[in-house]
Structure 1
Amino acid sequence: MKPSQFAKGFKARPDSTSSEKRTALDRLNAIDGIVDIQHVGQAAANGRSSAFVADEPADVNAGPESDEFRAWRRANRYTTGQVIELPLRSIKPSPFNPRHFYLKTSIAELAVNLAKQGQQQAIHVIPDYENPGTFFVSDGGRRVRALKEANKESVKAVVVDLPIGIQSYKLGYDLNVQRDSQTVFDNAVVWRRFLDEQHFQSQRELADHLGLDESTIAVALSIAKLPENVMHEMVARPDRFGSNMAYQIARYHTARGSDATLRLINKITSDDLSTRQVADIVKGRASAQDAPKTPSRQRYAQRLEIKLEGVAVGDLKSYGEDRLELRLRGLSREKRDELLHQIELMLQPVETKE
């Protein structure tokens, strides 16, 4: 597909102007509401090896369909919301993927988890109508990479009806924001590419389409001027390198170059410099060598590593006499919700009988 064809999705009517059109996220939620994962397990137990069911399904959908998707769905006997097994080789990244950076350590950890527990949550894919039998990833690029790392050959997927363009981008972007996995560095690279490829004619147009302030776009585009190797040093620490800190580092890089910038990033991490301290360095009020250290953080008294089926998923730290800090990652949605429920029960006040 050519870039001009990708751009067709950006010309879709705004989601909020008509009740007949749902937002991409609403449509996905509607699809998730009718997904029956147990059906996949039953199909596997019955020995079905085909990616699609053999019988003609009921003509069920989650809302208005595009003509292309309806034709594809009927040709492949697919029920909207159905979870199917697709060959990993048929899955390819979307040109409008909101993520650009994937940490190798994170992919490796997820690969170990998937190898032990299997895939718990289906990805969402969009048919490539011009190349039958192939699909663009709409949501789940990290899982696809981890499954390949784990030497798997197939992936559980739900096929969704979205154009490759603004709707598919906004869907992935909204989901990543909800998971706290979308970073300013992803935005910087992708938004810069959108403008370079003339999918949008100006920062203002891009901001209007994404529902963001134009200043947010401007900051991201300033960060986009950084070399990717410099960005990589910050991607792994989103808690330390948010948009404000990254913006100051971009300014420093313009004046001092990559080597000095990498040294500054290391000092920010080792000395826990604040954004204001870095801004002073950028303005010349302090040097990177002489910047005062922030008072050291409180040291935990005890740390307990938490494992799930032999795989480390986080830790529990205690501070002083009255503080606990629990950090977990890589949990399935079901395990996360179960854990939250148990914690809520533990923290409920004990009722006393009179």
Structure 2
Amino acid sequence: MSKRLGRGLDALIPSLSVQEDDKVIEVPLKQLRPNPYQPRKNFDEPSIQELAESIKQHGVIQPIIVRSVLKGYEIIAGERRYRASQLLGLDTIPAVVRPFTDDQAMEIALIENLQRENLNAIELAQAYQGLMDQLSLTQEELSVKVGKSRSHIANFLRLLQLPEEVKEYVSRGTLSMGHARAIAGIKDPQVVKQLAKSTIDQEWSVRQLEEAIQQMNRKNKDKKKIISKDPYIEQLEENLRETFRTTVKIKSSKNKGKIEISYFSKDDLERLLEMLQSFTSK
């Protein structure tokens, strides 16, 4: 078993092994249902077909692990064997019944997929979020539990904020994890969708996408600098500059603002103060 797994998950591993004294029973496939905490939503069909061919030749060599629930059994480990058996039209499958809690069932579903088949980035992000919600864990606590860095956890969780259609691109492999990470920090969902579409249509590398994002950010900054002032405010500034013979700026927002009058020496300051005092005394 990989050393990358945290101790909390390692402690559950023995429960997934079939022991010599275990009682193996034949469970009707119609009495089985998948683990609701299974993070994998998409199974590789050719892989299932290949497993089915093996089962057809040799049978189910390793029993699946289940727990007893209302109206049957719930699969804890071995959903691929279950699906392959369904494909073959088998009536039963060998199984070992174990008393797992909901929390354990959820953790084991993540373990099995982490160790046996790579989840796509969105499935893994959903699995991490599910563990945090179910077990009331912080990102730091989850990182210890699964033996991953906190930044690794955070990067995956950010993907869940992507628009649904972009998450679908990532799930299908149309967009890579690198592409998804690059656009995950953009707040405007419409911009995210457009960047994702451009990446797919133009077959951008991650580096090309990052350059496009940098160029977009530069253009946005330039637009903010070009925003013109109200002509009325500009005229007032011009009048005040002529009156005080110095630089004057009016900064306003909604119904409030301020006037900045610049001076360049002590004498200049005294001149301006005298002028202001003369206005207030009138």
* TM-score normalized with structure 2 length: 0.58
Residue-by-residue CA offset, 1:304-341 (whole Å, 9 max, x unaligned): xxxxxxxxxxxxxxxxxxxxxxxxxxxxxxxxxxxxxx
Please identify the structure whose Cα radius of gyration is greater. Answer: 2
Distance across 2 between alignment mates of 1:285 and 1:247? 17
Q: Which amino acid aligns with 1:230?
A: V
Distance across 2 between alignment mates of 1:127 and 1:108? 28
Partner residue of 2:94 out of 123, 142, 156: 156
Secondary structure at 1:128 match in 2: strand
Question: What's the counterpart of residue 87 of structure 1?
Answer: 28
Partner residue of 1:216 out of 136, 148, 152: 152
1:205 aligns to 2:147 (yes or no)? no
Number of residue-to-residue matches in the alignment: 210
1:168 aligns to 2:105 (yes or no)? yes
1:223 Cα deviation from its structure 2 partner: 0.4
Distance across 2 between alignment mates of 1:137 and 1:205? 27
Relative to its length, the structure with more helix (as a share) is 2
Partner residue of 2:166 out of 221, 230, 234: 230
CA contact (8 A) 1:222 1:250 kept: yes
Residue-by-residue CA offset, 1:129-166 (whole Å, 9 max, x unaligned): 5x2x522222222343444455444333333453331x
Distance across 2 between alignment mates of 1:170 and 1:241? 26
Distance across 1 between alignment mates of 2:85 and 2:208? 42
Question: What's the counterpart of residue 254 of structure 2?
Answer: none
CA contact (8 A) 1:233 1:265 kept: no
Question: What's the counterpart of residue 125 of structure 2?
Answer: 188
Question: What's the counterpart of residue 244 of structure 2?
Answer: none
Question: What's the counterpart of residue 37 of structure 2?
Answer: 96
Distance across 1 between alignment mates of 2:187 and 2:90? 41
- Contiguous gaps of at least 5 residues in structure 1: 1-13, 35-59, 61-79, 287-354
1:248 aligns to 2:148 (yes or no)? no
Residue-by-residue CA offset, 1:51-90 (whole Å, 9 max, x unaligned): xxxxxxxxx3xxxxxxxxxxxxxxxxxxx1x443212222
- Contiguous gaps of at least 5 residues in structure 2: 1-5, 218-282
Distance across 2 between alignment mates of 1:182 and 1:276? 24
Change (3 A) 1:160 1:275: farther
1:198 Cα deviation from its structure 2 partner: 5.5
Residue-by-residue CA offset, 1:98-147 (whole Å, 9 max, x unaligned): x23214xx236624751675254545333235x2x522222222343444
What does residue range 1-354 of structure 1 map to in structure 2 within 5 Å?
23-29=11-17, 31=18, 34=20, 60=21, 80=22, 82-97=23-38, 99-103=39-43, 106-107=44-45, 110-111=48-49, 114=52, 117-118=55-56, 120-122=60-62, 124-129=64-69, 131=70, 134-165=72-103, 167-195=104-132, 197=133, 199-237=135-173, 241-242=176-177, 244-251=178-185, 254-257=188-191, 259-267=193-201, 271=203, 273-284=204-215
Distance across 2 between alignment mates of 1:255 and 1:229? 10
Residue-by-residue CA offset, 1:150-195 (whole Å, 9 max, x unaligned): 5444333333453331x33333333322334223211212333444
Distance across 2 between alignment mates of 1:22 and 1:198? 18
Secondary structure at 2:136 match in 1: coil
CA contact (8 A) 1:84 1:157 kept: yes
Secondary structure at 2:25 match in 1: strand
CA contact (8 A) 1:170 1:210 kept: no
Q: In percent, how many aligned pairs have the same letter? A: 19
Distance across 2 between alignment mates of 1:116 and 1:210? 32
CA contact (8 A) 2:162 2:189 kept: no
Distance across 1 between alignment mates of 2:81 and 2:164? 23
CA contact (8 A) 1:123 1:139 kept: no
Q: Which amino acid aligns with 2:210?
A: A
Change (3 A) 1:264 1:101: farther
Secondary structure at 1:224 match in 2: helix
Question: What's the counterpart of residue 349 of structure 1?
Answer: none
Secondary structure at 2:208 match in 1: helix
* TM-score normalized with structure 1 length: 0.48
CA contact (8 A) 1:185 1:231 kept: yes
1:206 Cα deviation from its structure 2 partner: 2.9
Distance across 2 between alignment mates of 1:22 and 1:251? 33
